Structure 1
Amino acid sequence: MNSQVMNQARAKQSDRLMTSYDRFKEKGFLCDFNINVGEKSFRVHRTVLAASSEYFEAMFSSNLKEVHDGQVNMKDVDQNGIAQCVEFMYKGKADLKIENIQHTLHASNLLQMEELTNLCFQFLEINISPINCLYVINLAQMYDRRDIKQQAVQVVIDNFESVISSEMFPFITKSDLLHYISNQTYQTLWKAVVTWAKGKDNVDVSELFKIEQFPFKFLLETVLKEPIVKNNKTAEKSVFTALFFDVKKLETNLDIDNCFILKNLSETNQIPEQTTVKDSINQFLETNFEQISKKKEFLDISKDDILRLFKSSETKYSSETIKYGGMMKWVKHDVKNRRKIFQDLFSLLKLGDLSLEFLKETVRIESLVKKSDKCIDLLIDEIFSRASLKAEEKPKAEQPLALPVSKDDEEGSSVIGGASGYGTASSRPANGSVVRSAQEKEVVKVKEEFEERMKQMELKNEQEKRDAEREHEIEMKRVQEEKRKMKIEIEKLKTEKKGAESQSSSQTTSGLRIINQQPSDGKLERSTPRESLPGYKGDWTHVITYSFPAGSLKGVSYEAQEFTEYLPWNDGRICLNLLYQAFDAGLIFKIQKVGDRRGKIVWNDEFPHKTNKTGGPENNGYPDPNHTMKLKEALEAKGFKYDRRIPLPVFRS
């Protein structure tokens, strides 16, 4: 007979067989076995189970209790995962979704249904995206599917910037991170490193990349300000080295906006070439004094810095008014503490380069100038000097004309001068004295004005001195009164303390003491809710409950207590095994004595425990990707090792 006809007949018969068994299952016809998962029960046929699953074939070939009972209670598996397996057994198809693929894979792998497992991975291969690629990588690693992992890794690399924002990115391994960032731009690299490092303890991000590859400005304005760098001394030191090691590079990148930031960093941290760096920054400040004096940060430079700028011949500015303005802004920013240095700075001004109008209308009326004798003297000297110079430079044409006279004329000057009416030698001194009085008029006026102001200042200072002495006297009286009251109060407290000490001497005080022994009648139970802990999306949760009845130990009584901790399903399986051993050995809890014969059960703080589902490490909760590793290490340090022969704790009813 034609083989094609035979194949068609076989296909029809196979389809009829599956269709019939599916119809029988729906009606409960000839069903002879139950699969129980939690509260859900699947009524099925043994022959279909054995034909579809090597797991059930082995079970029905043995003399196990489940064979006689006609049912099996499946633990550590999801209801939906088993439902998809049963669906595939009877119909040859499954309703696969990214949301439930993990449970279906887990169930099919457990039941040894190779065709369904392959179908799951084909589904993953078709549906890999930037959103789920890290999730797919985890599944592929779990089931050793290198081909699927390789495809998912390529999706990560091709869409890396989008993948950084995914929920699972902070939980990838360090080696995977290094692989992904190897060919990224420095902006994307930094974003990835920061996202990955947040939530981890004291990570040195500088070991993840060559910090020299970052531009100078990016290092200063972005990298150095990131908390994960500021909180790690090694990483911070690496950034400082990159910024200051190459002085030529530093000088190239110095600008008005960053000079004060770099100056502060170089002075407050241990940096390479510190003296050379300091000299370069100071030289920049001198060259750009006019621009930096307008910056807010200029107001916070030290006394030594501003004196150096004022003394240096290299300090550049367009006019002396710029220097004067910078001085006044700096002093008045903290006038209480900088008043004393004002006259030193004022003496470094080139008053001769300031206009007479500026001296009169700005400098002369400044209160800080008027209150400083040294400043007043410098200002008067400058004004006198200008007035004298002006007098010397008067053109000779403005002086009265004197006729030349002979020796004889001089001897008879009184007669000739009276008779002739011409100018004589005796007439010149009088005319000359009138001219000099006019030229000195302005100088005399200024001098008199300053002398009057100085007298007023002296009177004001005397009054202020008297007022200050009077206030000091009042303050001293107030302090003496406070001392007297305080002395009375101290004596009162001493008396009360003596009474309290005498009363307490007859009483027995006991501080907190620890009994390093766990009550022997405790019980460990677990439950497995279908919910995920933060950081373990798609995974179930182990809820571990420890309960102790009321009792006494070593003469100390305690009340009944119950404790709960949480572990992720997959990552916590080994920890659960070790915890069971440690609890059985009596090492998870101890008793804290809180009274004479009273106590309470407390955690043994040698082992970390997550007593909350959320809140992060600070709240003994999740996310905390390092918790299971720390717990495993602490338990192993006590000599416990994973033993698959030890049964899982009983389920909490």
Structure 2
Amino acid sequence: MVQIACPDVEKHAVTMMKQLHQMKRENDHCDFKIQVGDDVYYTHKNVLSAGSAYFKDILKNDTKMRREAKVVLKDVDSQCVKNCIDFIYSGKFEMAHKKIVELLRVANMLQLEDVKRAVSGTLEESITVENYFATRNLTKMYGLEAVSAKCSIFLKENIMEISHQPEFGNIGKQEFINLIQFEESKLWEEEKLKLSLKWVEKNPKKQEHLYECLEVIKFDEISTAMLLDLLKTHPIISNNLELYKFINGHILKAREGLKKTEKGYNEELIILFDDETDCIRPLIQ
């Protein structure tokens, strides 16, 4: 037997899909309708089955949708459904960026993994400090692994800016500890302490994990001036007696080291919590 093949098989496949797409537009030989609200899209069963696991399942079994040659999709955006149909036929579509969330929901429902991968590329290029947590949530909801990896990198590179976002406190304990320990982030120890306090500030429930975070911070590399400022001004510290004593203890350790090297140490720079009187007083030598 002699095999006869098109000189350009890929071009042939593209031409066939273009023809099918044109037939869809002209309602030519269409045998299946997709209704979304008042909009009705005419399609071909074979094309839908080949392009979507969702349609393949409902069209290969004896379902009402198969018998009626029609499916009604509720509570979805009609334009996003049209985009998904266009993608099945042509591998491409145009859409407004604001529709990405709804498009992912529709693509996930129709089991269109290629659409989700295509949208992932757009999401990866559009991550910002402001939309970081919204994008991160999408990766978890729809299993967008490539975008999730990009989000992890973005967080490590922009953690100081992202810490000001309201959702910063939603980061889990172990992930947060890993972040402040991450060597390539090149965070100063002072920044790690500020981030830990900000994490609790954004979500007070995280305070029970604060000491675990503080354990990975090298307090001997933090300036005494900063620690003193935190004692005086930061509400999380001033409202937590044990935490106040913890920070104050590191100040005292720094003072002892400084006394050994600088005789002219300014005693008014240290504030001491007095266990006997349960009050704060200047350290008197």
TM-score (norm 2): 0.74
SS across alignment from 1:50: helix
Residue in 1 aligned with 2:34? 34
For residues 145 and 8 of structure 2, what CA distance do their matches in structure 1 show?
Answer: 40
Residue 232 (structure 1) aligned to one of 219, 232, 240:
240
For residues 188 and 97 of structure 1, what CA distance do their matches in structure 2 show?
Answer: 39
1:15-94 mapped onto 2 (5 Å cutoff): 15-24=18-27, 30=30, 32-36=32-36, 39=37, 41-47=39-45, 48-75=47-74, 77-94=76-93
SS across alignment from 1:282: coil
SS across alignment from 2:35: strand
How far is 1:51 from its partner? 3.2
Contact 2:166–2:202 (CA under 8 A) maintained in structure 1: no
Q: 1:198 to 1:158 in 2, by over 3 A?
A: same
1:98-132 C-alpha deviation (Å, 9 max, x unpaired) = 54333322321221222212212233334444444
Residue 206 (structure 1) aligned to one of 208, 211, 216:
211
SS across alignment from 1:24: coil
1:524-563 mapped onto 2 (5 Å cutoff): none
For residues 100 and 181 of structure 1, what CA distance do their matches in structure 2 show?
Answer: 35
How far is 1:151 from its partner? 2.8
Q: 1:19 to 1:46 in 2, by over 3 A?
A: closer
Contact 2:193–2:214 (CA under 8 A) maintained in structure 1: no
How far is 1:76 from its partner? 6.3
Residue 242 (structure 1) aligned to one of 231, 247, 250:
250
What residue identity is the alignment partner of 1:45?
A: T
How far is 1:215 from its partner? 2.1
For residues 5 and 64 of structure 2, what CA distance do their matches in structure 1 show?
Answer: 48
For residues 217 and 90 of structure 1, what CA distance do their matches in structure 2 show?
Answer: 65
Residue in 2 aligned with 1:469? none
Percent identity of equivalent pairs: 19
1:466-501 C-alpha deviation (Å, 9 max, x unpaired) = xxxxxxxxxxxxxxxxxxxxxxxxxxxxxxxxxxxx
1:129-187 C-alpha deviation (Å, 9 max, x unpaired) = 44444444433344444444223212222233233234543322222222222241134
Q: 1:144 to 1:200 in 2, by over 3 A?
A: same
For residues 90 and 101 of structure 1, what CA distance do their matches in structure 2 show?
Answer: 20
What residue identity is the alignment partner of 1:255?
A: N
For residues 40 and 238 of structure 2, what CA distance do their matches in structure 1 show?
Answer: 58
SS across alignment from 2:94: coil
Residue in 2 aligned with 1:218? 226
How far is 1:68 from its partner? 4.0
For residues 68 and 5 of structure 2, what CA distance do their matches in structure 1 show?
Answer: 47
Contact 2:168–2:199 (CA under 8 A) maintained in structure 1: yes
Residue in 2 aligned with 1:255? 266
Residue in 2 aligned with 1:12? 15
1:580-602 C-alpha deviation (Å, 9 max, x unpaired) = xxxxxxxxxxxxxxxxxxxxxxx
Contact 1:18–1:91 (CA under 8 A) maintained in structure 2: yes
Query: How large is the RMSD of aligned CA atoms in angstroms?
Result: 3.5
For residues 58 and 46 of structure 1, what CA distance do their matches in structure 2 show?
Answer: 15
For residues 223 and 42 of structure 1, what CA distance do their matches in structure 2 show?
Answer: 66
1:116-135 mapped onto 2 (5 Å cutoff): 116-135=115-134
For residues 176 and 99 of structure 1, what CA distance do their matches in structure 2 show?
Answer: 30
What residue identity is the alignment partner of 2:160?
A: E
Contact 1:22–1:91 (CA under 8 A) maintained in structure 2: no
Residue in 2 aligned with 1:614? none
For residues 251 and 175 of structure 2, what CA distance do their matches in structure 1 show?
Answer: 29
How far is 1:245 from its partner? 5.1
1:346-401 C-alpha deviation (Å, 9 max, x unpaired) = xxxxxxxxxxxxxxxxxxxxxxxxxxxxxxxxxxxxxxxxxxxxxxxxxxxxxxxx
Q: Which runs of 5 or more structure 2 residues have no equivalent in the other structure? A: none
Residue in 1 aligned with 2:283? 281
1:397-417 C-alpha deviation (Å, 9 max, x unpaired) = xxxxxxxxxxxxxxxxxxxxx
How far is 1:221 from its partner? 0.6
Count of residue pairs brought into register by the alignment = 268
For residues 38 and 244 of structure 2, what CA distance do their matches in structure 1 show?
Answer: 57
Contact 1:52–1:113 (CA under 8 A) maintained in structure 2: yes
How far is 1:254 from its partner? 5.5
Q: 1:100 to 1:197 in 2, by over 3 A?
A: farther
Greater RCO, CA 8 A, separation 6+: 2
Residue in 1 aligned with 2:189? 186
